[in-house]
Amino acid sequence: MQEIGPIILFDGVCNLCNDAVQFVIKHDPKEKFRFASLQGNNGQKLLRQFQLPANTFNSFVLIQDGQVYTKSTAALKVASQLSGPIRILSSFRIIPAFIRNAVYDLIAKKRYSWFGKKDACMIPTPSLQSRFLN
């Protein structure tokens, strides 16, 4: 698969994850980021390509410049590249990853009960389809 800029892999049925994707789209005026659901064909191909588990969907994944970032590191790296005050969140990278990821893992574990779940992956609107790999 040809590199087409930073790619965010997300849980396509998670409401929190879908809201996060919508937030990134809104705060990415240069349309730098592309998206693929972890469950979709392209998401699965990328997971295998980067030797990540293809059957667990509890991590936000950023693929950028041939590198893979997961969990809180991925989220903070994305935040640092968005427009607006959200960029300040990237300063949390000074907190050790094991602490950040403990909070991340708690939210990931509870995300369906706290935020809900869809029956199927999000289908992008026609105006956003070019930003999605699936």
Band the pLDDT of 134: cuts 50, 70, 90.
Answer: low
> In Å, how far are 31, 105, 117 from 27, measured between CA atoms?
9, 25, 24
Closest C-alpha to 9, from 78, 93, 65:
78
Q: What is the pLDDT of residue 97?
A: 94
The pair of structure tokens assigned to 3 is 């590199």
Assign 14 a pLDDT band (cuts: 50, 70, 90): confident
- How many Å apart are CA 16 and CA 125, to the nearest integer? 18
Averaged confidence pLDDT in the chain:
88
Model confidence band, residue 1 (pLDDT cutoffs 50, 70, 90): very low
pLDDT (0 to 100) of residue 50:
92
Which pLDDT score, from 0 to 100, does residue 122 have? 65
